[in-house]
Amino acid sequence: QMVRNVYPNLMPYTCSLADLPVEEMKQALGRDQVYKLSFNENPLGPSPKAIEAMQKSLQQLNLYPSSAGEAVLNKIAAKEGVRPENVILSNGADEMIILVAQTFLEPDDEAIIPEICFVQYLASTHLMGATPVFSPMKEDLGIDLEGALQKITEKTKVIFLCNPNNPTGTAIPEEDLKAFIARVPENVLVVIDEAYHEFADGDGYASSVELVKDYANVFVIRTFSKIYSLAAARIGYGIGQAALVDAVNHVRPPFNVNSIAQAGALASLDDAEHVAASRQSNRIGKELLCKTLDALGLPYLKSQTNFVCVDTKRDGKEVFDRLAERGFIVRTLAGYGLKSSLRISIGRPEEMEAFVQAFKEVM
């Protein structure tokens, strides 16, 4: 057999309509307009300053990009109160998860992953031939840190956490996370994926970047795909102590982040106004959605992100199909055992107005 069986037990991840590019969604549904609410994208698009910088960068496509991306590293470091040697760029947060797995996981190792969590931790653990060990969720579907601690064995190398979590949208309270990290053995790496960091502003959420200073085994992952709306450009980053970052740098391909993405990221970091506008738009859209869910009496998880996880109390796939008929594509969560739940990304306020009308019709 030539091909490695890399994904022996990958969660049943239904490759449906929800994973198609918008144009293909339109074709599949035979509609001129579709509302893609399945990828947690920022509907406002990138900062105009980023687009301008990216267009300018096209003039130097003959040249390799900066390997480490020093300009972007420096700007992130200044913003986050760390040093440039504490930061490393990746081709999206997805690549950072893979790089971390490649750096720290060997076939005999175990990686602890919350049961209802972003699927790339599982995929990357399998990629390395290591063993995923699922930790349970709390009854309220928050990440159960105590449960994760109990899963630690002498084989545990990495614990993956997502804060705020995808697909639940929930945040881990700062105090709980601090107490947890203090109890994790020093030889176990705690990876905290903060892809939705910039949307979070409550429920006790705090970034773990501060903890990097005190803990050599904490590594934080961020992305420019969400609030900065550069998902197509593919750029993310990690923050950790210099020794960790250095180790990951030994695995990182030399030109993993292209110069267009670097230019876009750099300019994005300068446009605080656009970030504020994106947060504001998200807040309005999310409030609109949640008000409707309240009125319909449907339970949903309090979201610190740009999506909401709702229990439709019906077969989620059926609700998905009926929304799709009306041009709204959301995400089913049956692969996580949440058969009646949907994850709905927040679109622009006017898109959410249209969505809640359709949602009321199908419910």
The residue with its CB nearest to ligand PMP is 92
Other Cβ atoms within 10 Å of 302 Cβ, number:
16
For residue 11, state whether it binds ligand PMP (rule: CB under 6 A).
Answer: no
Q: For the CB of residue 165, give the shortest distance to ligand PMP in the complex, in Å.
A: 8
- Starting at the edge strand found earlier in the chain, the sheet holding 189-193 runs 87-90, 236-239, 218-223, 189-193, 156-162, 110-114, 131-135
- Starting at the edge strand found earlier in the chain, the sheet holding 307-311 runs 307-311, 338-345, 331-333
Q: For the CB of residue 261, give the shortest distance to ligand PMP in the complex, in Å.
A: 10
Chain-centroid distance, C-alpha 80: 19
Of residues 96, 131, 101, 134, the one with CA closest to residue 117 = 134
For 313-339, letters b (16+ CB in 10 Å) and e give: eeebeebbebbbebbbbbbbbbbbebe
Choices 47-55, 91-99, 142-150, 344-352; region in contact with ligand PMP by CB under 6 A: 91-99
- Rounded to 10 deg, the angle between the 92-104 and 120-127 helix axes is 40
229, 42 contact by CB (below 8 A): yes
Among 104, 118, 160, 359, binds ligand PMP (CB under 6 A): 118
H-helix or E-strand spanning residue 242: helix 242-249
Q: Name 311's bridge partners.
A: 341
* Residues 237, 151: Cα–Cα separation, whole Å: 28
Binding string, residues 181-220; x marks residues near ligand PMP by CB under 6 A:
------------x-x-------------------------
For residue 93, state whether it binds ligand PMP (rule: CB under 6 A).
Answer: yes
Q: For the CB of residue 74, give the shortest distance to ligand PMP in the complex, in Å.
A: 20
Among 38, 57, 135, 223, binds ligand PMP (CB under 6 A): 223
Which one, 119 or 206, has the nearer CB to ligand PMP?
Answer: 119
Binding string, residues 226-255; x marks residues near ligand PMP by CB under 6 A:
-----x----x-------------------
Among 80, 94, 144, 311, binds ligand PMP (CB under 6 A): 94
For residue 88, state whether it binds ligand PMP (rule: CB under 6 A).
Answer: no
Q: For the CB of residue 194, give the shortest distance to ligand PMP in the complex, in Å.
A: 8
Q: For the CB of residue 282, give the shortest distance to ligand PMP in the complex, in Å.
A: 15
Q: For the CB of residue 196, give the shortest distance to ligand PMP in the complex, in Å.
A: 7
Q: What is the DSSP string of 262-304?
A: HHHHHHHHT-HHHHHHHHHHHHHHHHHHHHHHHHHT--BPPPS
Choices 135-143, 223-231, 333-341, 343-351; region in contact with ligand PMP by CB under 6 A: 223-231
356, 289 contact by CB (below 8 A): yes
Instruction: Give me the residues that bind ligand PMP (CB under 6 A), please.
Output: 40, 92-94, 118, 162, 166, 193, 195, 223, 225, 231, 236
